[in-house]
Amino acid sequence: MTKKTPNPVDRYVGSRLRMRRMMISMSQEKLGERLGITFQQVQKYEKGTNRIGASRLQQISSILNVPVSFFFEGAPDGSPTAAGFGETGNPPFVSDFLATAEGLALSKAFMKVRDPKLRRRIVDLVEAMVAEDEK
């Protein structure tokens, strides 16, 4: 028996679940408790290894205070598009970044910086650090 890889849409929905849960600082344990499931089941949902049923997704959207459509915004649809045409939502790396604790913390902190010149200098600093690492 071969191990089945998660469907890309299931993985995407799971990453959006994780991102939103982290945005509101809710633990997997707390979400699991509210859903009547274990935190391990929440982990499987977030990884996309277990598919989230429609009624469960409705329940999750209510707990996380987002519409069900939130979980599908920018989801891969499986249809090929010409580069640069018909793209919707954020590139996958944006969702991947925001689904990490560091990415979420960095974006929250960055959004609190009001001075546009200072924000630009922060971006320049990070780009310089990356360029230095690539040498």
Quote the Cα angle for 54-104-131, to 5°: 130
This prediction has a pTM of 0.67
Q: What is the pLDDT of residue 26?
A: 94
* Domain with residues 1-76+89-99, CATH architecture: Orthogonal Bundle (1.10)
48: left (phi over 0), alpha (psi -120 to 50) or beta: left
Q: What is the pLDDT of residue 95?
A: 66
Pairwise CA distance, residues 110 & 108, whole Å: 6
Average pLDDT over residues 73-99: 59
Structure tokens at 89: 């939502």
* pLDDT confidence band for 103 (50 / 70 / 90): confident
Q: What is the pLDDT of residue 3?
A: 67
